[in-house]
Structure 1
Amino acid sequence: MVTPTPDVPYRESFNDNDGQWISGQLTDTISSWLHTVSPDSRLSNTDGGLWITGQSMSSDMPAYRASEQSFVESPCIDLGLLDFPMLSFKYWMDTDQGDDGAVVQYKVGDGAWRLLGAIGLGDNWYNRENIIGTPGGSEANERRIGWSGRDTTGLVARFGLDEVKQAIGDSTVRFRIVFGSSRDLPSEHLFGFAFDDFTINNRDRVVVVEHFTNSQQVPSLFSQDTALTNLLPNNQIVVDIRYHTSFPTTEPLITRQSNRADISARALHYGVASLPHTVLDGSLPEPGFLPLI
């Protein structure tokens, strides 16, 4: 069992060995996952060992198999000493876009495997839905989401594990990266999916959230409730600022304020024209509430 702490995170480089991760398959098709210390030349920014699909062809030009539902599974991990756990790893993908892809699943104790995250959450997290290969199976991945397509630059995926920690209680958790492919493979020798530098540590980033709202607008109130639900459990890592604007209608909460100019100036700075509106770390504004990593 692995027990990361704030001072000593769990970091597995796979440079010396397979990290005690195990490979397997969910169907009769043999897994093409393998641990290697000689990564495929098509991968950029590699550093020693990693896990990669592609065992079905010669070592100089690996390729994955048709109809795969294969995985690489971590040791048991205890998140109990981390206040704000986060998972991250480097990945490369070279799949038939929309047909084949990969996802991350987690399992608490002896429970069922669950999908970790969704499109639009985390950083460099899933980029595609309706993947024909249904990585992880349809029961755990109804929308068939995951990583699919080609990017061999070595992106780093990050995802907060707050909900996972709440679900664990006194138990432990395991993670696995599942690769799913369709019955029809492209004529090219695509290597599939590879990952390295799997890390679980404590988040130390402080996020500034600026939320523009108006108490007279029902959609705005609903968004504010959503924001509170998401922010309050993370109040140690979030600076929560809420602006009540004087548009689109009079805001009774600011009629007695002596410094209304700052609110108007902030809204003008971000180009806020409709409510509700949330800005994360000064990023370009997007309608509604932006989820935290």
Structure 2
Amino acid sequence: DWLVDSENDIESWVLGEPDFTGFVSTTGDLAWYTDLPTTTDYLENSWVESPCFDLSALSSPLVLLDIMKSFVPGTDGAVMQYEHQVSEGWNNLGVVDGGINWYNSYGIFNEPGGSSFGWGLSQFEPDEAWVRAGYAVDALAEFSYVKFRLAVGTEEAQSMGNDGFAFDNFYLGERVTNSVLEHFTNSASSEAADADKIVEEFIADYSGMVIDLQYHMDYPGEDPMNLNNPVPPSVRAFNYGVPSVPYAVLNGGSEPDYRYDFSDPSQQPNGEDLKTSSLDISPFDLSLSTNFLTNSLEGRVRVSCKEEDFDSNIQLYVVVIETLVTAYTGANQTTAFRNVVLDILPDATGELLGNEWGVGVSKNLDFSWDYASYLENEEDLMLVAFIMDRDQGKILQSAIQEYSPGTGTGDRPTDEKALAIYPNPAYDYAYINLGTAVERAGAIRLVDLAGRSVLNTEVVPGYSIYKLDISSLAQGVYMVQWMDSGALRGHGKLVHVH
């Protein structure tokens, strides 16, 4: 249970329906909020403290909560703090302008939790609806004892109508959104070649968190990989308003900070942006199943909504990439090009799935693609599916599947099932339950978010539970795939921690 405490026994916290000016509450939807009195010379330094959490099993934890601010500008404010060892006391969680809708004020006079910065107002424009705030807390992942508190420093309610602070829907868990970096490059450009190396290092540093798609443009010089199929790069560059090459866009580039022109180190993809851009729980699950045939591939993407009410338009893209292309020589004598986009299905504009979504609503897209004449090696094929909120310009979720030889029968892949994986997160070993004793030989694969297969285990007929030794793998998130006769029969997500 969350508990209320204070420095001087002055506390106005209430667990109930917030009575904030302009806010329309929902009956029975309780939240923590301050009910400030009008007492003259009132000064409150109080907090609501969480129970203890064990974060040692999480590799990429985040904190999410809904907040409302109604402060006297420059005077009152709130801050979130954590304690992982009682002897070290409380520490501020995060910095100003970090995370999503996180702290926005310096110089808060009444110092909530002893801090001069936190949530405040520069002018009296209070929130009249919940604001979703989030922050990555990777630094706390190793601790088995962590407490949090929301502290306020506030004076009394005044004639302007200040109500203080409210919060609800506190969430602490693993980041599960798979990020997408779309990189626009050109093999004839030395600057682009340098940027390609930066992207490659970034992807390697954050393997398991992000996948990159590389679009080869027709400028500033001729690029044979663009000549192979110029439409997908042109359409995606037009959609984003790409001004020059090289250029990269993270998760749809909905914020200016998630667009990079590589002009200096601050204009390069980085870990902080990656963590911040994925600081939310995706409202959708995405599953991808593909049958790689002799001369073509075909498959299905399923998009499933997890939210009660989601009314933005969703656009689905299925991208065919070749993870290694070596047939060409580019600037700086480059002869190896990674994750080259070959095509987008059903076409370069994607597939509009509409805006009629709710919990349990699912939509499928069946697709097919004949192997192009410029495909070097079908074993380097990989499919990346992602969905985009067209109204917000943000990529919400992605899924990947790398090449696995099929039977060539041409049958559509059947609907795959979610695999039971335990423990999850896992340390040295994980168990995969296929649900029933299998009848045919197959394989269980672990794939990182860069599309690399990092572990393959044979599936033997007659067994349903398999033990995987993951002790040698890097910490991160992995896709688990159960393959049977070249088709994806089951899938899941495994979090590996050290």
With the length of structure 2 as denominator, give the TM-score of the two structures: 0.42
Structure 1 residue 124 and structure 2 residue 89: aligned? no
Q: CA deviation at 1:272?
A: 2.0
Quote the Cα distance in structure 2 between the aligned partners of 1:276 and 1:64: 59
Give the Cα separation in 2 of the matches to 1:107 and 1:274.
Answer: 46
CA offset at residue 274 of structure 1? 4.9
Confirm or deny: 8 A CA contact 1:32 1:65 kept in the other structure. no
Is 1:113 aligned to residue 99 of structure 2? no
Partner AA of 1:21 in structure 2? L
Counterpart in the other structure of 2:468: none
Alignment of 1:254-293 (within 5 A): 259=228, 261=230, 262-263=232-233, 265-274=235-244, 277-284=247-254, 286=256, 287-288=259-260, 289=269, 290-291=273-274, 292=277, 293=279
- Kindly state the Cα deviation for residue 99 of structure 1 after the two structures are TM-superposed: 2.9
Match of 1:208 in 2: 180
Sort the Cα spacing of 1:38 and 1:239 in 2 relative to 1 into closer, same or farther, 3 A: same
C-alpha displacement of 1:153? 0.9
2:202 partner SS: helix
More strand by share: 2
How far off its partner does 1:112 sit?
4.1
Partner of 2:5: 23
CA deviation string 1:188-219 (max 9, x = no partner): 3422001122222333322222245788559x
* CA offsets 1:105-134 (integer angstroms, 9 cap, x no match): 122223343322334443332334443444
Note if 1:101 corresponds to 2:77: yes
Contact 2:4 2:46 in 1 (8 A): no
Structure 2 contact 52–147 (Cα < 8 Å) conserved: yes
Task: Indicate how the Cα distance of structure 1 residues 221 and 239 shifts in structure 2: closer, same or farther if over 3 A, else same.
Answer: closer
Superposed, which structure 2 residues align to 1:122-201 within 5 Å? Answer: 122-138=99-115, 144-148=117-121, 149-165=125-141, 169-181=142-154, 186-201=158-173
Q: Distance in 2 between matches of 1:172 and 1:226?
A: 36
Deviations along 1:47-68, one digit per CA (max 9) or x if unpaired, are: 443222234349xxxx9944x4
More relative contact order, 1 or 2 (CA 8 Å, 6+ apart): 1
* Cα distance change of structure 1 residues 129 and 184 upon mapping to structure 2, 3 Å threshold: same
Secondary structure of 1:194's aligned partner:
strand
Quote the offset at 1:269 in angstroms. 3.1
**Distance of 2:94 and 2:213 partners within structure 1:** 26
Distance 1:116 1:266, change over 3 A: same
Change (3 A) 1:187 1:155: same
Match of 1:228 in 2: 202
| CA distance in 2: counterparts of 1:223 and 1:57, whole angstroms | 61
Letter in 1 for 2:15: T
**Which residue number corresponds to residue 13 of structure 2?**
34
Aligned to 2:424: none
User: What SS does structure 1 have at the residue aligned with 2:127?
Assistant: strand
Deviations 1:158-211 (A, max 9, x none): 33322321xxx2431111112124x79743342200112222233332222224
Change in Cα spacing, 1:177 to 1:170, as seen in structure 2 (3 Å) is: closer
SS at match of 1:152: coil
Give CA deviations for 1:221-271 in whole Å, capped at 9, x if unaligned: 599479828x834x3342233557686x779xx788865845555334311
Aligned-pair distance for 1:285?
6.4
Alpha carbons 1:33, 1:71 under 8 Å: kept: no
Change (3 A) 1:213 1:35: farther
CA contact (8 A) 1:71 1:178 kept: yes
For residue 150 of structure 1, give the secondary structure of its aligned residue in structure 2.
coil
User: Structure 1 residues 33, 89: CA separation in 2 closer, same or farther (over 3 Å shift)?
Assistant: farther
The equivalent residue for 2:30 is 49
Q: Call closer, same or farther: CA 1:41–1:105 in 2, change over 3 Å.
A: closer
Change (3 A) 1:117 1:178: same
Instruction: Provide the aligned C-alpha RMSD in A.
Output: 4.0
In structure 2, what residue type is equivalent to 1:266? R
Contact 1:99 1:133 in 2 (8 A): yes
Q: Tell me, yes or no, if the aligned pair for 1:76 and 1:172 is still in contact at 8 Å.
A: yes
Unmatched tracts of structure 2, length 5 or more: 261-268, 280-498
**Whole-Å separation in 2 of the counterparts to 1:73 and 1:151:** 23
Change (3 A) 1:271 1:193: same
User: Secondary structure at 2:100's aligned position in 1?
Assistant: coil
Whether the 8 Å CA contact 1:92–1:154 is kept in 2: the answer is: yes
